Chains A and B, each alone.
Chain A
Amino acid sequence: MAEDRDAELSFAARLVDFGRSLRASGLPIDSNRLALAQRSLLITELTSRAAVRDALAVCLLSRIEDEAVFLAQFDAFFGFQDLASPVQSLVPPAPEPAGGDGITMAPSSLESIVPDAKDDAITEGSSAVFELRHADFATLSEAERDALIALAQQTQFVIPNQRIRRRHPSDAGPRLDWREIIRRSQGTQGEPLDLARIDRQRKPARLIVLLDTSGSMAAYARTTLACLHPMLRGCDAHVFAVGNRVSELTHAFKCRNTDAMLQRAGHAIEDYATGTRLADCLRSLRLAHTALWQGRRPWVILISDGLDTGGASDFAKEVRKISAAAHRFVWVNPLMRYAGYQPIARGPHVLALNADEMVAGHNLASIAGLGELLRRRVFTSRFQTQPASDYPRVF
């Protein structure tokens, strides 16, 4: 049957199909790129399969993280199928139903190659979606988890740029640029006719996301990672797993495909579901990843239940240091799902004292709400908001 299909489809149509399946796997393929790919095939000497693959890769890829998915799809589409390869397993078998309205990740002109959303059950506003958004991660079945991850693809954090110390010329800026005014006035016999203005430059807020992957958080960690992945797309985010040691997940998060990200994250985290030595992890983040703390002060988002199993003495000290180095320190706590939860245990107590915000993080709605919180807080000064708890803030 495959041969019949091959015979029917012209190469261009096949290329479009290839583009669609790449898109369904999360690669940003638009019609321009496909047109370019076709032109490139026309001028390449197609002597071997590798030559076709190279030419397509040059035109269709723009990030190295997408290469594994590209190669797997290429093998599936252009013969020599190697379905036993481990990467193949992370490619969804059919174009993924991305959901209901306007969930496409591409400009509207590309609708012709965007797979249609088929799953009527998952449309925004339906009660099933509401329940899924508010379902506790720990209680989900496998199927529900997959649906939830598909639903999470619709959300993306939109965080306004932060003002930094550097200044740049700006017509509507609040301050006069005296140096430039004097320079310009040389052309008008010393009369300052043209008032140059400057404003503070803006840069994307830097996020440091720390996800606790210890045993007590095991029920949440995987789903939280999968939900955060599409949301952090396009953010200047540095993601780390903390447990007994720190594992960097930033590179894994650069994959467009959530399954591919989970696979890479799985390789990176060696101590999944073991102990939590938060103090050691925070210290090594501070000392080994110094570049993260220079320049713009980062937002630190700690997703943890706060139950630290490491040494007691310097936990409070390390949390205070991280909190002081952060632009804002947000503690996302899955235990907040319990009504009447109080951070009374030693670890949670220290975190509650030092966090600027303490928010729940046990379902999709609360994780998505984190984006809204960040958006609102970018322009507010730290001292305009109350500390997370009623306890006095300790430095």
Chain B
Amino acid sequence: MIGSVPASAQAWVAALAAVGYFADQRMATAVHLAVTLQRPLLLEGAPGVGKTELAKAIAIVLGRDLVRLQCYDGLDERDALYEWNYAAQMLHARLRQETQSAAEIERSLYSSEYLIERPLLKALQAPAPGAVLLIDELDRADEPFEAFLLEYLGEFQVSIPAFKTVRAANTPVTLLTSNRSRELNDAIKRRCLFHWMTFPDRDRELAIVRAQAPGASAQLTEAVTDFVQRMRAASDAVGLSRAPGIAEAIEWARALVALRFTSLDPQAVADTLGVLVKDQEDWQRLEPHIHQWLKTETPS
């Protein structure tokens, strides 16, 4: 099954579940359309809802390589697309100075041999069946970089001066993620399909934690899921600086397994809460509620 392209949204749900990613129907529809229409897919949502993990899961399902470009302030073409290997070019020119004419040297200098591929170029030139390209946290990059991406996202091609225009032999499945620290440009959004990722409901999260932390007992998995769900629901009311993501829930379950806890009690929570909460003030705000969130009945 791995390596073939699922033919419908339902097939995507099943295929992603088989590799440990539990998608809902809407997410699967977005992925299906992005793969079939060969359009970039923009994923937005709170940190820790599984945007990056989705890209990894898609890469496994399609049997493609995952090429990841982590964005940051000041990211430019040289880090994202390509760079000439100046040192090697210079060495080459020096060595051939005696034997070759200037024109010949120049021709040979600008060849793929001296081109250092960065993620975007790598994704375009990936051999069949192509690659999955993840442009992660695009909101961290600056606006000129967004403008630079327009040609890439629109045509899946890039122009390299003195070399050639590189077109995608196999259109990469492209995913962009944003944590919304700022609004992305409308021009980028127009070229992309869009999916807003929310935190999963209890059953989906239970399935995720069960799959990702297989060592945990059923009782522990349920307790962890319920606790995290309640904490998330109350995060605004309690005044937490951020709600815990799925990744943190998984980490927490794994930490509890590593410490050989089989059920969740206040002591276990106090010992391991650092995995879930990364802020001293949040910790203090949380403490009075721990007992309440540990109750065993299902949350409403």
The answer to whether A and B belong to the same complex is yes
Q: Which residues of A contact B (CB under 8 A)?
A: 28, 30, 32-33, 36, 39-40, 43-45, 50-51, 54-55, 57-59, 61-64, 67, 166, 168, 186-187, 201, 203, 236, 254
Set A51, A186, A236: member contacting B29, Cβ < 8 A: A51
Q: Which residues of B have CB within 8 Å of A39?
A: 37
* 12 intermolecular pairs with C-beta atoms under 8 Å apart: A32-B190, A36-B37, A36-B39, A36-B193, A40-B37, A43-B36, A45-B9, A50-B25, A51-B9, A63-B189, A63-B194, A64-B44
- Residue contact B25 to A55, C-beta cutoff 8 Å: no
The main secondary structure of chain A at its interface with chain B is helix
Complex: how many Å from CA A50 to CA B27? 12
- Residue contact A44 to B44, C-beta cutoff 8 Å: no
With both chains docked as a complex, state the minimum distance between the C-beta of B88 and any C-beta of chain A, in angstroms.
13
With both chains docked as a complex, state the minimum distance between the C-beta of A3 and any C-beta of chain B, in angstroms.
29
- Residue contact A43 to B190, C-beta cutoff 8 Å: no
Q: Which residues of B have CB within 8 Å of A187?
A: 86, 90
Q: Which residues of A have CB within 8 Å of B10?
A: 45
Set A28, A43, A58, A64: member contacting B193, Cβ < 8 A: A58
- Residue contact B9 to A254, C-beta cutoff 8 Å: no
- Residue contact B33 to A58, C-beta cutoff 8 Å: yes
The answer to whether B192 has its CB under 8 Å from any CB of chain A is yes
Interface size class of B (residues with CB under 8 A): 20 to 34
With both chains docked as a complex, state the minimum distance between the C-beta of A69 and any C-beta of chain B, in angstroms.
14
- Residue contact A44 to B196, C-beta cutoff 8 Å: no
List 15 other contacts, CB 8 Å, given A33-B190, A57-B194, A168-B74: A30-B190, A40-B37, A43-B36, A44-B9, A44-B33, A45-B8, A54-B26, A58-B29, A58-B193, A62-B186, A62-B192, A63-B183, A166-B74, A187-B90, A203-B142
The answer to whether B107 has its CB under 8 Å from any CB of chain A is no
Complex: how many Å from CA A336 to CA B281? 43
Q: Which residues of B have CB within 8 Å of A40?
A: 33, 37
Q: Which residues of A have CB within 8 Å of B39?
A: 36
Residue of B nearest to A65 (CB): B196
Complex: how many Å from CA A64 to CA B90? 51
- Residue contact B29 to A62, C-beta cutoff 8 Å: no
- Residue contact B192 to A43, C-beta cutoff 8 Å: no
With both chains docked as a complex, state the minimum distance between the C-beta of B190 and any C-beta of chain A, in angstroms.
7
Complex: how many Å from CA A166 to CA B189? 27
- Residue contact B9 to A58, C-beta cutoff 8 Å: no
With both chains docked as a complex, state the minimum distance between the C-beta of B281 and any C-beta of chain A, in angstroms.
11
